[in-house]
């Protein structure tokens, strides 16, 4: 594990940690563990944070108390039921909540297809006191959550149309059939994500390198929504050398 002083992000409040791919989860878990007893954790889905959640499960077996955590997921497909194994509700339940002993009443995943549903999710986050640590990944086109290119810094939880590149990247979870991948999602907005007190971005693999380089060292622009993280006062990026190779 190496703190990368040679990689100087535009934002001085962003720390970049390089580690082997199989160490990313442990490094990120060190941060999440600081709020594990009763904090509010914003959770991302997909493959990038899997090692983090596995590390937390191992630590729980070793005595870390996690059952008091409250979870808020970043996003959910429009049109999938919570019982659909491809839904993010199912992911959060089976990968995070149940293995960490977190009761169902402490788990929130966006659900619905209207602006009113988005506003209700915003209220739920506010009523919980805000998110202490928000976990995010980064899409190949720079999306965070499902905030696709073009999403501005003022966006809040809302329904969005998914970029075709995002749908193609997620088709592997739908038997490789693009026609089965939902076209819309309900997602936390950029402003919602930035309201978290601390953000941890995890990334692995060369496919994320160009987007991550732009997010860290390029201009702040809606063309790469992850670049808005430069405006946050406390961001830690945990990534492997492949994901950071274009930042050298």
- Radius of gyration over alpha carbons of the chain, in Å? 17
DSSP-based three-state secondary structure for 169: helix
Closest alpha carbon to 21 in 200, 204, 209, 202: 204
Do the beta carbons of residue 32 and residue 56 sit within 8 Å?
yes
Which of 98, 106, 122, 141 is the catalytic position? 141
| 240, 246, 247, 248 alpha-carbon torsion, rounded to 10° | 90
Q: Choose the catalytic residue: 26, 75, 132, 240.
A: 75
Using CA atoms in the order 127, 132, 138, 142, what is the torsion angle rounded to 10 degrees? Answer: 60
State CA 109 to chain mean position distance.
Answer: 13
170 carries an active-site annotation: no
The reply to whether 161 belongs to the active site is no
**Active-site annotation holder among 26, 76, 132, 143:** 143
Q: Which of 26, 76, 148, 240 is the catalytic position?
A: 148
- How are strands ordered across the β-sheet holding 133-136? 2-3, 14-18, 235-239, 198-203, 133-136, 40-43, 70-73, 107-108
Pair of tokens at residue 40: 């509010």
Q: What is the 3-state secondary structure (H, E, C) of 198-240?
A: EEEEEECCHHHHHHHHHHHHCCCECCEHHHHHHHCCCEEEEEC
Which residues form the catalytic set? 75, 141, 143, 148
């Amino acid at each position: 594990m190496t703190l990368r002083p040679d990689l100087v992000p535009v934002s001085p409040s962003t720390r970049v940690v390089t580690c082997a791919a199989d160490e990313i989860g442990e490094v990120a878990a060190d941060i999440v563990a600081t709020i594990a007893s009763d904090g509010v954790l914003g959770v991302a889905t997909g493959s990038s944070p899997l090692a983090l959640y596995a590390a937390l499960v191992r630590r729980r077996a070793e005595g870390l108390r996690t059952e008091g955590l409250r979870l808020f997921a970043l996003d959910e497909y429009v049109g999938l039921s919570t019982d659909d194994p491809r839904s993010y509700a199912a992911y959060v339940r089976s990968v995070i909540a149940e293995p960490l002993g977190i009761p169902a009443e402490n788990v929130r995943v966006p659900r619905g297809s209207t602006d009113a549903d988005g506003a209700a999710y915003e209220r739920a986050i506010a009523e919980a006191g805000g998110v202490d640590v928000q976990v995010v990944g980064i899409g190949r086109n720079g999306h965070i959550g499902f905030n696709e290119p073009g999403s501005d810094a003022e966006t809040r939880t809302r329904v969005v149309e998914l970029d075709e590149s995002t749908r193609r990247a997620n088709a592997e979870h739908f038997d490789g059939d693009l026609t089965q991948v939902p076209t819309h999602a309900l997602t936390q907005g950029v402003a919602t994500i930035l309201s978290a007190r601390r953000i941890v971005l995890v990334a692995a693999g060369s496919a994320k390198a160009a987007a991550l380089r732009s997010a860290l060292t390029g201009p702040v622009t809606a063309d790469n929504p992850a670049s808005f993280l430069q405006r946050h006062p406390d961001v830690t990026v945990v990534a492997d050398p492949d994901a950071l190779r274009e930042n050298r």
